Structure 1
Amino acid sequence: MSRLRVGVVGTGFIAGRHLAALTASPDVAVVAVADPVRERAEAAAARCGARAHGDGLALLDTEELDAVWLCVPPFAHGPLEAAAVARGLPFFVEKPLALDLATAEAVAVEVARTGLPTAVGYHWRHLGVVQRAAETVPAGEVQLVTGSWLDRTPAAPWWVQRGGSGGQVVEQTTHVLDLARLLAGEVDLVSAAERPAGADGEVPTAAVALLHFASGAVGSVSSTRVLGWRHAVGLQVVTEGRVVELSERSLTDHSLRVVTADGEEVSRSDEDPVAAEDRAFVDVLLGRSAGVRVPYAEALRTHALACAADRAAREGTSVRPAS
């Protein structure tokens, strides 16, 4: 069996999930790991029998790879993707695509020009419960969408700086916005408001976005980071006589609830969507599958929506997401 030689840039929580999934795959060899904290790179590399690098660009410059996984904070995107494209190296990239829209748009242009295989970590799309929800809710029938990301503040020091994470809407709530696009279609106009940041950083403590969908549906998505626990992460979609609700309690604990006048049906899932999205991309790269669910161009539409919601809140105006 041919083994795919891959590198992984980043060793944080989500990078660790990717490393575990890739290392467990018999047709993948993780040969290199990079992190600016050298000790973390060495520890992660030791666990999977790989070489350690203190810099992602150094990894890309020196390693012979078939693909690379870019699992870095929002502020680190751009140069890594550009280096991968320059080397003709397929890449998986974690969301969000960048701090801003312009950086992601520039990468998208080069990906489209080269036709390079890519995948992006909007992992909910790989869940069976999400696929069933999409089959249950034809986009043209949606009337109302309500979503939320009500949670604690992540511990990473860069996260509370807008120049580090891009803010909660861009860094976290983008998952909910991606679900909204999947189930209700594209958004034509966004209005938003935010509560100013507290003493711990620059990221607002709460925000809400009002969405006007091209289909005529309307919606709202709320975010807050002031809790000590994950309270509610998910989306509700209302059609004539039906409510479809998706929720996430943890990375491997999701549920689908469909409610009608006749009662409700609840489906729970303990699937690992990170392992599923990794497997899907590996299969594409090995020629076993034709395409991925979230290539870079598709993820850019969600990123554009998240950036529009963030801009609308900051400027107190309405914004049309870039198409």
Structure 2
Amino acid sequence: MSRRASELTSPPAFARRPSALDSPTSVSRRQSGASSRRPSIDPSRLVPMDKAHHIGGSDDFNVVFVGAGNIMFGSDEGPWNHSFRFEHKLGPRLKVVALIDPAVERATTVLQKKCETFVRSAYENTRVFKTLEDFVRNMSKRDMPRAIIVGSPPMFRGTIQPGRDIESQIMKHFPGVAMFIEKPAATGPASELPEAFQVAKAINESGTICSVGYMLRYLRAVQMMKQIINENNLTVMATIARYACAYEAIAKPDWWDKSKSAGPIIEQGTHFCDLSRYFGGEVDMSTVNAHSLEWDENAGHLSKMSVDETAIPPENRIPRVTAATWKYDSGAVGSFTHLVALQGHDYSCELEVYADGYQLKLVNPYVQPVLYIRKPGSDIEEMHRFPDDDPFFSEISVLIDNIEDIEEDPETAQILSSFEDACKTYELTWAIRLATERNRKIKKDAEASTTAA
């Protein structure tokens, strides 16, 4: 028999809550996102998924998946597949109590496929709902989730507006239940940025465990870079990021339309803006400047596009190159260049971090990361490879460890990307896009004045 939401909103017994041993300071630190846990992870603790044992225990671990698309269930286009990682982390404890997606047929199809495999026990009782509200109206007490995983498109989250406020709805109906939210925080207009920070504030004040899917922070190579910086007490001087995508393989029309995807910096380059912030610190937004190569300029012609760009209004077509610079609050300098330029399938991506005497260069982080390290006293670069690293598994593993870790064992790694942190990355990507549009307008206005004269 189903129960009303009002009967189900008390925090479950397993939710982390203040105890008699908690001081007011420790409770405040926990709710603000701070804790005794390390803000970085020993790279040796990030083990490949096939070397990890599923987490112990005999009780069911209920999960709700929001979104039945590629990010949740995988595709041939990339390594993402959250369900796969949950299955390996939780083993037979995993019970997906609901799959929420308006595309009911697609959701039903992916569940059928799962039930034909060895993970059938996780999905055989999963019910499909079009909305979170439908699930709330029809759930029973035994369906109470321990985590809700949001992999729906970003235009439906990160605001306080009805229908685009999934985080607020989760906290309303399921207080105390952990959330995992895909990146970016949202893809609405820049005017909605304050709403994203309002959501972040509500999450912090509620004490809700929340992780955002900036998985590159969980790379062993990235954590080795952090380890070098921390152990040598280094101050970062500069970050230099480059992201060149293979546009020929991008066949989704919405990706090429700024009005739908928000553009390649916000939708795709966000990972490298986030990594830049992870090493450089907070950005002085007033210093962000950027220029773009646009579709209608001579150098912006692309010969192997897989979509018909003429179907997209000219004002919504994406730039081919974006080059941005900024200052960090520390005084360090950051730069990022995003290119829609390569053909074939493989991307070309690099991040360099400089400090006194040190160059740390991360190459190919999405597929087979390689880290080049130059140290004081040597002109030779050390090379470190990281075969079989899976940051998607590591971020899910850390999330679940935090949910299970009721006593807050300091050996448990801290979640590396909070919602508030993700909003700051989102703010930077919007600042870059707006800077390119300002400079493009200045150029066009100058050209118009010259023509008129």
If the length of structure 1 is used for normalisation, what is the TM-score?
A: 0.88
Aligned length: 316
Note if contact 1:238-1:244 (Cα within 8 Å) is conserved in structure 2. Answer: yes
Worse overlay, 170-179 or 239-248: 239-248
**Displacement after TM superposition at 1:19 (Å):** 0.9
Q: Which residue of 1 aligns with 2:24?
A: none
**Displacement after TM superposition at 1:288 (Å):** 5.5
**What are the residue-to-residue correspondences of 1:226-241 with 2, within 5 Å?**
226-228=341-343, 229-241=345-357
Name stretches of at least 5 consecutive residues in structure 1 with no aligned partner.
318-323
Q: Which residue of 1 aligns with 2:288?
A: 190
- Cα distance change on mapping 1:10 and 1:243 into 2, 3 Å: same
Q: Which residue of 2 aligns with 1:81?
A: 167
Q: Give the secondary-structure state (helix, strand or coil) at the position aligned to 1:98.
A: coil
CA distance in structure 2 between the partners assigned to 1:95 and 1:276 by the alignment:
16
**What are the residue-to-residue correspondences of 1:214-233 with 2, within 5 Å?**
214-228=329-343, 229-233=345-349
Whichever of the two has the greater Rg, that structure is 2
Note if contact 1:149-1:172 (Cα within 8 Å) is conserved in structure 2. Answer: no
CA distance in structure 2 between the partners assigned to 1:142 and 1:295 by the alignment:
22
Q: Give the secondary-structure state (helix, strand or coil) at the position aligned to 1:14.
A: helix
Give the residue type in structure 2 aligned to 1:97: A
User: How big is each residue's C-alpha offset from its partner over 1:150-192, in whole Å with a ceiling of 9 and x where there is no partner?
Assistant: 1034333332222322211111111111111121222112111
Q: Which residue of 1 aligns with 2:436?
A: 313
Matched, 1:300 2:423: yes
Q: Which residue of 1 aligns with 2:393?
A: 275
Note if contact 2:234-2:356 (Cα within 8 Å) is conserved in structure 1. Answer: no
The structure that is strand-richer by fraction is 1
**What are the residue-to-residue correspondences of 1:176-187 with 2, within 5 Å?**
176-187=272-283
Indicate the RMSD between aligned Cα atoms, in angstroms: 2.4
Matched, 1:137 2:223: no
**Displacement after TM superposition at 1:56 (Å):** 4.8
User: How big is each residue's C-alpha offset from its partner over 1:73-109, in whole Å with a ceiling of 9 and x where there is no partner?
Assistant: 2212132112112112421001000014234223112
**Displacement after TM superposition at 1:289 (Å):** 7.4
Residue 163 (structure 1) aligned to one of 237, 259, 262: 259
Q: Which residue of 1 aligns with 2:68?
A: 11
CA distance in structure 1 between the partners assigned to 2:155 and 2:266 by the alignment:
12
CA distance in structure 2 between the partners assigned to 1:298 and 1:145 by the alignment:
18
**What are the residue-to-residue correspondences of 1:257-272 with 2, within 5 Å?**
257-260=372-375, 261-269=378-386, 270-272=388-390
Q: Give the secondary-structure state (helix, strand or coil) at the position aligned to 2:291.
A: strand
Give the residue type in structure 2 aligned to 1:110: A
Matched, 1:128 2:204: no
If the length of structure 2 is used for normalisation, what is the TM-score?
A: 0.64
**Displacement after TM superposition at 1:55 (Å):** 3.7
CA distance in structure 2 between the partners assigned to 1:67 and 1:208 by the alignment:
38
Note if contact 2:201-2:420 (Cα within 8 Å) is conserved in structure 1. Answer: no
Identity %: 26
Q: Give the secondary-structure state (helix, strand or coil) at the position aligned to 1:236.
A: strand
**Displacement after TM superposition at 1:22 (Å):** 1.1
